[in-house]
Amino acid sequence: MRRAIAAVVASCAAVTTAFVANAATASAHAQRAADAIGPGLVTVDVDIHYSKFSLSTLHVRAGTMVRFLVHNDDPIHHEFIVGDATVQRIHELGTDATHPPIPGEVSILPDDVGETFYVFDRPGRVEFACHLPGHYAYGMHGWIVVDP
Ligand SMILES: [Cu+2]
Domains in the chain, number: 1
Distance between Cα 119 and ligand 1 center (Å): 23
Distance between Cα 26 and ligand 1 center (Å): 21
Question: Higher model confidence: residue 96 or residue 2?
Answer: 96
Q: 11 lies in a domain?
A: no
Q: 47 lies in a domain?
A: yes
Supply φ then ψ for residue 79, to 5 degrees: -145, 160
> What pLDDT shows up at residue 24?
42
Question: Could you tell me which of 145, 146, 132, 148 has the C-alpha nearest to residue 51?
Answer: 132
Q: Could you tell me the CATH number of the domain that includes residue 128?
A: 2.60.40.420
Decide if pLDDT at 109 tops 60: yes
Half-sphere exposure of residue 8, counting CA atoms within 13 Å on the CB side?
A: 5
Structural domain harbouring 126: 31-147
Q: How long a stretch of residues is the chain?
A: 148
Please state, in angstroms and rounded to a whole number, the distance separating the CA atoms of residues 60 and 123: 9
Q: 16 lies in a domain?
A: no
Q: 74 lies in a domain?
A: yes
Distance between Cα 7 and ligand 1 center (Å): 39
- Per the DSSP assignment, residues forming a β-bridge with 83 are 127
Distance between Cα 21 and ligand 1 center (Å): 21
59-99: pLDDT as tens digits: 999 999 999 999 999 999 999 999 999 999 999 998 877 87
Please state, in angstroms and rounded to a whole number, the distance separating the CA atoms of residues 118 and 110: 23
Decide if pLDDT at 105 tops 70: yes
Question: Higher model confidence: residue 10 or residue 86?
Answer: 86
Please state, in angstroms and rounded to a whole number, the distance separating the CA atoms of residues 22 and 19: 5
19-58: pLDDT as tens digits: 333 334 434 454 788 889 999 999 999 999 999 999 999 9
Q: 37 lies in a domain?
A: yes
Distance between Cα 95 and ligand 1 center (Å): 13
Please state, in angstroms and rounded to a whole number, the distance separating the CA atoms of residues 59 and 3: 46
> What pLDDT shows up at residue 98?
80
Instruction: Count Cβ atoms below 10 Å from residue 17 Cβ, excluding itself.
Output: 10
Q: 23 lies in a domain?
A: no
Q: 21 lies in a domain?
A: no
Decide if pLDDT at 17 tops 50: no
Q: 12 lies in a domain?
A: no
> What pLDDT shows up at residue 32?
80
